[in-house]
Structure 1
Amino acid sequence: MKKSILFLSAAVTLLATAACQNFKKGDGGLEYNIVKDEGAEKAKAGDLLSVDLIVKSDRNDSLLQSTYDIGLPQIVNIAPDSIPGLYAGDYNSMFKMLGEGDSAIFRLNIDTMAAKTGQPKPEFADKFVTFTVKVRKHFKKGTQTDSALYAQIDTYFKGEIEGLKKSEEGKLAGYIADKKLEPKKTATGLQYIVSQEGKGNKAMVGDTVVVNYTGTLVNGKVFDTNNAETAKKENSFNPMRQYEPIRFRVGHDPVIQGWTEGLQLLNKGSKATLLVPSSLGYGERGGGTIPPYAPLVFEVELVDIIAGPKTDAAPAAATDSVATKK
């Protein structure tokens, strides 16, 4: 948790620095500001960089990507200039200006990108896409085989994921403290707060439940919701999706264990917050924008309970999150 906060603080510092300094002009319309140069060897073709990265569009300063949301760095492969489609001032060029410990802000000119690559100009930006980069580690290809190089990456990421595992309990405890919550806790580790009590019987295995929900990471990042307004606010709205309550049969349809257990604690009309440890969610694998060992927060409303047969045996616990079921 502390490590993520430190990196995020560094990113904020970089953005603040960029705001008060002039960018230098590079090839292909690329603009750059090397905020910190550690003097280390710069990346070459064949090398790999582990980076923390924030990507923004100049259109309404929209956030396109952030590695800080999931707490894991991104691996950037430095490609040879001879690869078709690459040009001076492109994405690849940016990272060749950096070495271990360096940090910088780049503005990639999308007009140049469209002209050089022959691809349509992306609709999410007007002129620039801004990359705020901090290099964690430089993996040098040198005379190594590809298999030896990628073995280093594998070992490196195992260490990063182990760090996420060790920090999970602290992240959830910090969230509860920050929000001043007083949740109840079940034997499995699920924690919950009922904010609005419903009426009638509680949901049971075999019942079909109808649910409104929003799922977030403990840093507040929304990873799934059936609320259209929330999706628009988070810049994740999908016009092809139907934003309506989700239905599933408790104990039978594939949802995470935290949902199967948590919704049986509620009756029709209840609203609650479910604090789901990774052991009841996505576990060590993660999924999509959900990192490994991520505790999850769900705001749920149990709209309806449709009674079902109670004689069927429940299958083994599912591992897929309802948040990914459309």
Structure 2
Amino acid sequence: MKKSLLILGLAVLVLTGACQQFKTDEGGLQYKIAKDNGQPKAQSGDLLSVEMTVTTDRDSVLSSTYKIGLPQIINIAPDTIPGLYAGDYNSMFKMLGEGDSAVFKLDLDTMAAKTMQPKPEFADKFVTFNVKVNKHFKKGELTDSALYAEVNTYFDGEIEKLKLAEESKIDNYIKKNNLEPTKTASGLQYIITEEGTGEKPAAGDTVQVNYTGTLISSGEVFDTSIKEVAEKSNIYNAMRPYEPAKFAIGVRQVIPGWDEGLLLMAKGSKAKLIVPSELGYGERGDGRGVIPPFAPLIFDVELVDVLKSKPAEQDSTAN
């Protein structure tokens, strides 16, 4: 399965590395140093803030910090920890310092033999790491609490950057796609792409909704109720049903952007909802690493059905 990550920084890194030959280190680790910034390399106890994309030799993406929009913190472990070996994941990052970038190919056969664990089934021989180091936190004489205070301050700054960039991400998306959405007082923006002929739901009604959710930052689909879309987006999960979501509207069972947007639609309508983080998953994200903090989202939704709530039965004892 193939995914294209249109990330300029990653593209530059790959092109730079392509001009070199891979070198082989202990344990079968293959590497290309795309940029050596001349700074001290990471040592045991240090931490690195990195941008990183991890792919397999089957051309599938396992993870990418570019998708989330936040760097990953790597803890350089001491060599004395059981299970570590020359040429492993920990060894890769000891080759890097602040401002460095490199491509590593981790040998899975060696990993399985050295760790006495089964070889992963998601790749044939190698997993490739494209890495760029943003910041090097040196342990030195610092206490653990002092070191992690530095990291927390740094990470708070990265999250603040996401917050400040949110409005421009939404504006750029609208401009790029030549959209003319209607904006509500809450900040929700929406476009009715197909007008339905049924009645609109009221708060408390049960609705059935087909949907596809996309991250504005990367354009990647993170969730959908439609099987074909899930398969095309490489997020298909055979353990879940693909059918319209069913829930009560206007009673906080879903994110505020859905509660507001779906109440504007008639049964049978289709719409595009542009949901700012305040009406989505807020400053914390979804907590699973799929939706980052301050992430504006796009939902293409179809209001399939509206099941009107039944009025409360009158109290038989009332006079």
TM-score tier by shorter-chain length is over 0.9
CA offset at residue 232 of structure 1? Answer: 2.2
The correspondence for 2:102, drawn from 93, 101, 104, is 104
Partner of 1:62: 60
The answer to whether the aligner puts 1:31 opposite 2:21 as a matched pair is no
Structure 1 segment 231-250 matched on structure 2, within 5 A = 231-250=230-249
CA offset at residue 85 of structure 1? Answer: 1.1
Structure 1 segment 282-321 matched on structure 2, within 5 A = 282-287=281-286, 288=288, 289-309=290-310
SS of the residue aligned with 1:151?
A: helix
Check the 8 A contact 1:205/1:310 in 2, yes or no.
Answer: no
CA distance in 2, matches of 1:299, 1:80: 48
SS of the residue aligned with 1:120?
A: coil
Check the 8 A contact 2:17/2:33 in 1, yes or no.
Answer: no
The change in CA–CA distance for 1:198 and 1:166 in structure 2 (over 3 A counts) is same
Check the 8 A contact 1:206/1:309 in 2, yes or no.
Answer: no
CA offset at residue 278 of structure 1? Answer: 0.6
Deviates more, 1:43-52 or 1:232-241: 232-241
> Which letter does structure 2 place at the counterpart of 1:82?
T
CA distance in 2, matches of 1:209, 1:54: 39
Deviates more, 1:246-255 or 1:42-51: 246-255
> Which letter does structure 1 place at the counterpart of 2:165?
S
- Identity across the alignment (%): 64
> Which letter does structure 2 place at the counterpart of 1:295?
P
CA distance in 2, matches of 1:310, 1:270: 25
> Which letter does structure 2 place at the counterpart of 1:196?
E
> Which letter does structure 1 place at the counterpart of 2:93?
F
Check the 8 A contact 1:109/1:128 in 2, yes or no.
Answer: yes
Deviates more, 1:167-176 or 1:114-123: 114-123
> Which letter does structure 1 place at the counterpart of 2:238?
P
CA distance in 2, matches of 1:110, 1:195: 48
CA distance in 2, matches of 1:308, 1:12: 53
CA distance in 1, matches of 2:255, 2:276: 11
The change in CA–CA distance for 1:135 and 1:127 in structure 2 (over 3 A counts) is same
Structure 1 segment 1-326 matched on structure 2, within 5 A = 8-59=7-58, 61-218=59-216, 219-252=218-251, 254-287=253-286, 288=288, 289-309=290-310
CA distance in 2, matches of 1:86, 1:233: 38
Partner of 2:316: none
CA distance in 1, matches of 2:89, 2:116: 15
CA distance in 2, matches of 1:253, 1:161: 26
SS of the residue aligned with 1:261?
A: helix
| Structure number with bigger Rg | 2
CA offset at residue 20 of structure 1? Answer: 4.1
State the TM-score, normalizing by the size of structure 1: 0.91
CA offset at residue 254 of structure 1? Answer: 2.0
RMSD: 1.5
| 1:17-70 per-position Cα deviation (integer Å, ceiling 9, x unaligned) | 3334310011111100000000100000000000000000111x1111110111
Unpaired segments ≥5 residues, structure 1: 1-6, 313-326
CA distance in 2, matches of 1:110, 1:234: 27
Check the 8 A contact 1:208/1:247 in 2, yes or no.
Answer: yes
SS of the residue aligned with 1:247?
A: strand
Deviates more, 1:230-239 or 1:43-52: 230-239
Check the 8 A contact 1:197/1:271 in 2, yes or no.
Answer: yes
> Which letter does structure 2 place at the counterpart of 1:291?
P
Count, aligned residues: 305
| 1:73-123 per-position Cα deviation (integer Å, ceiling 9, x unaligned) | 000000011111111111100000000000000001111111111111111
Unpaired segments ≥5 residues, structure 2: 1-5, 314-319
SS of the residue aligned with 1:34?
A: strand
Check the 8 A contact 1:206/1:310 in 2, yes or no.
Answer: no
SS of the residue aligned with 1:94?
A: helix
Deviates more, 1:165-174 or 1:19-28: 19-28
CA distance in 1, matches of 2:227, 2:137: 42
State the TM-score, normalizing by the size of structure 2: 0.93
